[in-house]
């Protein structure tokens, strides 16, 4: 009998990929609140990147 309900796992994006995506969004953003929020995200992901290297 074949199990037809197997779910394939999707991989989460890497930290480097998240930094790249956030930087790209930051370049396009014009709203000051949006810019501030994206800068916060970028700081978070860069902090994660540093902790990962240690």
pTM: 0.69
Which tens digit of pLDDT belongs to each residue from 6-53?
667 778 889 999 999 999 999 998 999 999 999 999 999 999 888 877
| 50 burial via Cβ count (<10 Å: 0-12, 13-18, 19+) | exposed
User: Is 39 part of a structural domain of the chain?
Assistant: yes
Give the CA radius of gyration of the chain: 17
User: Is 1 part of a structural domain of the chain?
Assistant: no
User: Is 6 part of a structural domain of the chain?
Assistant: no
Which residue range forms the structural domain that includes residue 28?
A: 15-53
User: Is 3 part of a structural domain of the chain?
Assistant: no
User: Is 2 part of a structural domain of the chain?
Assistant: no
User: What is the pLDDT, as a whole number, of residue 21?
Assistant: 94
User: Is 20 part of a structural domain of the chain?
Assistant: yes
Tally of domains in the chain: 1
User: Is 42 part of a structural domain of the chain?
Assistant: yes
Return all residues near 38 (Cβ < 8 A) that are at least 6 apart. Answer: 22, 25, 26, 29
Closest CA to 18 of 37, 36, 38: 38
Closest CA to 49 of 25, 23, 29: 23
């Amino acid at each position: 009998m074949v199990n037809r309900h197997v779910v394939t796992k999707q991989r989460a994006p890497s930290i480097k990929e998240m930094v790249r995506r956030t930087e790209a969004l930051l370049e396009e953003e014009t709203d000051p609140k949006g810019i501030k929020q994206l800068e916060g995200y970028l700081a978070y992901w860069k902090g994660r990147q540093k902790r990962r290297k240690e």
